[in-house]
Structure 1
Amino acid sequence: MVSSLDDTKNSIEITNNANLVSLGMDFEYCAFCFDNLVITNNPKLDLKKDCDAIISIYSSYRTISNNFADCGCAITADFNKFVTTLTRNCWMIIGNVTIDQNSDYKVLAEKLVNVTRISGGLSIKNTNFEDLSFLNSIEWIGLNAYKSEYLASITISNNANLTSLKTNFKRDGLYLTVRDNPKLCMTTQNLDNLFYGLSLDSDLNINICFNEKTPDYWCDLPESGYFSDLPDGCKNLTGNLLIDDHFDFKNSYKLHDVENIYGSITIQNSSIRNLNFLPNLSRIRSIKDKVAPFIAVNNSKLFELFTTMQFEGAESGVAVTVENNESLMVPDILCSFFRTRKSPIVKDNYDSCGTGEKPSKHDKYSLNVDVFHGLPVFKDVSVVETNPDNGGVHNNPWTRNTTDSEYYTDEETSTENFCIQPFTIASFALVVTFRCYLR
């Protein structure tokens, strides 16, 4: 260990030890592992079993070379020249892999056959390759974006003959750009891998192909944008979801499990009041240029968009647009989630990013009751034919609201015990409940 009083930026330096075979350190629980790491010129030292822990702590702040087994092979020159020098025991490449019109497909296939990881980025531009199967041994490409001294990306663009990827690698902690590959059709399996880990942002202009291996949780919207024919259990949705005056609330339960939309959502001229049928939506990712990921315009009764903190944002080069919704409140925090590579257009709503001053009006039917055109499939909903007062349904969570009389029951109080009756204070991010206690 290097003392913090020494004139160095390295917390550990291990160099020039002719007989050192192993370190005997547990980097995963190392209390003094910070700043930079240097391990060089130890001809018998095998670091392979320590590499995962070293990378997780030091990320790119490390210099490891000329040991018996290093933590990968660092790119030291133009990649097309560097790749010709790779030995068969190189299992990880450190740095940004750049493949272009000067790259040789056969050389790449031969030299990368044992490489399973790239600690850095990947760029594939201006090639004539039909696929990228020379990368099929690679399982992971990424960086620790929180600790790395630089950010990196995976870029696949301007490849005129590229028809399929034929890769299995997962992306973690990188930006992603896939565009201007006119013959490329990306499978849902490709997208599962490319959005496996931390996604910084994506710039996509792609076609998505479904095949016999497509998982059941991927669903494709028809061109109309309506979802009545979707199966249950869709988690990833492709296409442009349309919510308008023909909104099919009866089948909206099919959207309950949707987490990611590869395409867009447009809400226009509708009667809905909120998006309670999309409680699990996390991300909207544009897959076409000039298509906004989210548009909400001219919805007079819409007063709330996302009711939970599940929504994490949109990825696009086009701005989100939310305007002319006279009852809608758009808080500041939601506006920040709506920011893509362009600032959102939020205006002419009841409250646009914190500009409203008046309290919202009480809406007795806050759960889309008036656009409810049928009974959603809910296992705890039962039909009650003998009670016409409740509309023929019982225990229907889609139509309940806190103004219903059955929500409240009178409780007897006693003077024998000191008791504060239960009540709840609720706010946007905090719920505090007071209970009764015996004196």
Structure 2
Amino acid sequence: MTCLLLLTLFVFITPIYTVFTYNATDDMALLFETTGCDSQCGFNASEFSLDTIDLWPVNCSTVCAILKFTSSSNNIPFEKLKSTFQNLNSLRGVLRIENTTLTNFSFFGNITLISNINKNVLSISNNPKLTDISVLFTITNIYINYPVQIMNNPKLDVFPLCVGENFLDFDRFYIVNNMKDCGCTGSIINNANIFAYKNCTSIFGPTEISNATDASMFSALSDVRNITGPISIKNTNFQNLSFFSKMERMKGDDSIVNLDIHSNPNMTRLGFESLMDLYNIEDWFRVNIQDVHPDFCLTMEEMQTFTTFNTKYVKLEAKYCNITTRKDGQKTCRFESMSALANDCVHIMGNVVVSSGDEHHTGKLSKVIRIYGSLSITNTTLKNLEFLGNLINVAVLNDTSPAILLDSNPDLFDISLLSMRFPYTSGPNAVVVQNNAPNIFPNPYQCHNYQNAVGAYVLYNRAECDWVLSDGDYTEIDTGGSSQFSEKKAHQNCGVFAILICALLSFVNI
């Protein structure tokens, strides 16, 4: 019976990928096409052995190499290795140590830097006597998040590498079958293999939860606090993901959707009660939530986490949960009107509208840090937005309206939002600024600066920032087409700053 159970686990626990593959010849050719990799300080042998050791440029402190140790390296004396690499400070390329009897890497006594410009695979595999790779724990990586594969080293403790600062910005790990790995290896998880993940606190590598029908079994994941790599949850009957209630950190990959939840028709809640950090090393953290129950909702705290970091959404089919109490005790108010709003709100649930006659109530927004809904300021005599100095985020769910609308405020010339980051709406424009004081953005440069400051695209007087000219003035020209489309053309009295653009526009419209 025990053998049958072990066989079942072996069959069902299949990593989504097994190993990172590479072509050493192609890697070498590409490296030596890189600027700065000349023959004087390059090592272009396919492996490091007694036959090739004399090709190593011993007087160079920086060497270009795909430095690969194999079983052919086993008969090189340690002192010979140490003297060969004594001047090496920086490796331009990557290190591969496979099928050796090495016990440690201490012969790399002075190396401090790896510049893996082509992001080749670092591989340390099948070394039965290897016990110490601490040189990698302190090395600086110029180029981050290249694939790291460490497997089948039965005497090696890899855990310090996974939690250390030098590989903090990596998520492309395949680390298995060592004496101690980073955590549990991502795989396709379902009812058949879920108990193999009991007591896991970290999961590394792509993970998929699919075709699962018994949510109670997934309490085996209740100790997970960190997920490194993308995770997909699909085709389940789960009502929520509360088995991840202790999860604190998710670290994603730049090339794919990092949190993909779809085709779960019974799901009404997320349940990420402890999530504090979403991190993508080189790009946006991408989220997709779709094809869930129509009543699916996010709590304020969950949306706060999503909007605190640079998150992008494929789809976000959700509304806000009808909850106004927070674990941190900060006061949340439901918005009805500016006149009825309390003076000490920290969070606001609902669409905030500031319009004519509300100017003397704007001080009520001075303590507000987040609005779970939209912010509309229209037809006022306001000159600036100083009263919103503490506002960190505005996020609209289940609506395509702009997150922030500043419209028809003729005296409004300063729209600085000093604390604002990543306002969100599922609609096309997160921030819309129109019909206010002239020359809020005199040129594209200032408009782009504002976009970068708030972390969202801006539609200014019905045009994108690239079309902002010196007077910031736009008219719409009837193109005779659908009412949904119009051609935006700047007036021809453009300033010197945009003379080239004007000339181009004039030419196009001849």
1:96 — aligned with what? 206
1:285 — aligned with what? 395
Change over 3 Å in CA distance of 1:291–1:281 after alignment to 2: same
1:232 — aligned with what? 344
Q: State the Cα distance separating 1:243 from its structure 2 match.
A: 1.3
Change over 3 Å in CA distance of 1:348–1:160 after alignment to 2: closer
Partner letter of residue 127 of structure 1?
T
Matched, 1:165 2:278: no
Deviations along 1:370-396, whole A, 9 cap, x unmatched? xxxxxxxxxxxxxxxxxxxxxxxxxxx
Q: State the Cα distance separating 1:169 from its structure 2 match.
A: 2.9
1:6 — aligned with what? 66
Deviations along 1:285-319, whole A, 9 cap, x unmatched? 222222221112222111121164x3334222321
Partner letter of residue 253 of structure 1?
G
2:16 — aligned with what? none
Change over 3 Å in CA distance of 1:97–1:194 after alignment to 2: farther
SS in 1 for 2:364: helix
Matched, 1:142 2:232: no
TM-score computed with the length of structure 2 as normaliser:
0.58
Partner letter of residue 447 of structure 2?
D
Q: State the Cα distance separating 1:248 from its structure 2 match.
A: 4.3
Q: State the Cα distance separating 1:245 from its structure 2 match.
A: 0.3
2: CA distance between counterparts of 1:357 and 1:348?
14
Deviations along 1:6-42, whole A, 9 cap, x unmatched? 3665346433333444434472x42368555332211
2:231 — aligned with what? 122
Structure 2 residue runs of 5 or longer lacking an equivalent are 1-47, 49-62, 69-92, 98-123, 280-284, 473-510
1: CA distance between counterparts of 2:289 and 2:458?
23
- Asked whether the equivalents of residues 333 and 345 of structure 2 are also in contact (C-alpha less than 8 Å), the reply is no
- Asked whether the equivalents of residues 136 and 166 of structure 1 are also in contact (C-alpha less than 8 Å), the reply is yes
Deviations along 1:150-205, whole A, 9 cap, x unmatched? 34432445544334333323341222344553233433333344456x33235543
- Asked whether the equivalents of residues 221 and 239 of structure 1 are also in contact (C-alpha less than 8 Å), the reply is yes
Matched, 1:65 2:176: yes
1:355 — aligned with what? 469
Q: State the Cα distance separating 1:149 from its structure 2 match.
A: 5.5
Deviations along 1:185-236, whole A, 9 cap, x unmatched? 433333344456x3323554312332554434352332x34264324261x4
1:268 — aligned with what? 378
1:271-420 correspondence runs (5 A) = 271-306=381-416, 308=418, 310-318=419-427, 319=429, 320-327=431-438, 329-330=440-441, 331-333=446-448, 336-337=451-452, 344-347=458-461, 354-357=468-471
Aligned alpha-carbon RMSD (Å):
3.7
SS in 2 for 1:4: strand
2: CA distance between counterparts of 1:274 and 1:311?
15
- Asked whether the equivalents of residues 191 and 212 of structure 2 are also in contact (C-alpha less than 8 Å), the reply is no
2: CA distance between counterparts of 1:353 and 1:243?
29
- Asked whether the equivalents of residues 132 and 166 of structure 1 are also in contact (C-alpha less than 8 Å), the reply is yes
Change over 3 Å in CA distance of 1:307–1:64 after alignment to 2: closer
Matched, 1:176 2:291: no
2:148 — aligned with what? 37
- Asked whether the equivalents of residues 322 and 345 of structure 1 are also in contact (C-alpha less than 8 Å), the reply is yes
Change over 3 Å in CA distance of 1:186–1:55 after alignment to 2: farther
- Asked whether the equivalents of residues 313 and 337 of structure 1 are also in contact (C-alpha less than 8 Å), the reply is no
- Asked whether the equivalents of residues 278 and 305 of structure 2 are also in contact (C-alpha less than 8 Å), the reply is no
- Asked whether the equivalents of residues 271 and 302 of structure 1 are also in contact (C-alpha less than 8 Å), the reply is yes
- Asked whether the equivalents of residues 381 and 410 of structure 2 are also in contact (C-alpha less than 8 Å), the reply is yes
SS in 2 for 1:209: coil
2: CA distance between counterparts of 1:121 and 1:218?
35
- Asked whether the equivalents of residues 45 and 68 of structure 1 are also in contact (C-alpha less than 8 Å), the reply is yes
2: CA distance between counterparts of 1:135 and 1:43?
31
- Asked whether the equivalents of residues 338 and 353 of structure 2 are also in contact (C-alpha less than 8 Å), the reply is yes
SS in 2 for 1:6: strand
Partner letter of residue 184 of structure 2?
C
Partner letter of residue 5 of structure 1?
A
Change over 3 Å in CA distance of 1:193–1:149 after alignment to 2: closer
Percent of pairs with identical residues: 22
- Asked whether the equivalents of residues 21 and 44 of structure 1 are also in contact (C-alpha less than 8 Å), the reply is yes
1: CA distance between counterparts of 2:166 and 2:255?
14
1: CA distance between counterparts of 2:379 and 2:420?
23
- Asked whether the equivalents of residues 45 and 67 of structure 1 are also in contact (C-alpha less than 8 Å), the reply is yes
Q: Pick from 311, 319, 328 the counterpart of residue 215 of structure 1.
A: 328
Change over 3 Å in CA distance of 1:40–1:240 after alignment to 2: same
SS in 2 for 1:134: helix
Deviations along 1:232-256, whole A, 9 cap, x unmatched? 261x43321111102142x423322
2:125 — aligned with what? 15
TM-score computed with the length of structure 1 as normaliser:
0.66
Partner letter of residue 236 of structure 2?
T
- Aligned length, in residue pairs: 344
Change over 3 Å in CA distance of 1:93–1:213 after alignment to 2: same
Structure 1 residue runs of 5 or longer lacking an equivalent are 359-439
- Asked whether the equivalents of residues 204 and 227 of structure 2 are also in contact (C-alpha less than 8 Å), the reply is yes
Q: State the Cα distance separating 1:87 from its structure 2 match.
A: 4.7
1: CA distance between counterparts of 2:394 and 2:338?
17
Change over 3 Å in CA distance of 1:281–1:273 after alignment to 2: same
- Asked whether the equivalents of residues 220 and 238 of structure 1 are also in contact (C-alpha less than 8 Å), the reply is yes
SS in 1 for 2:65: coil
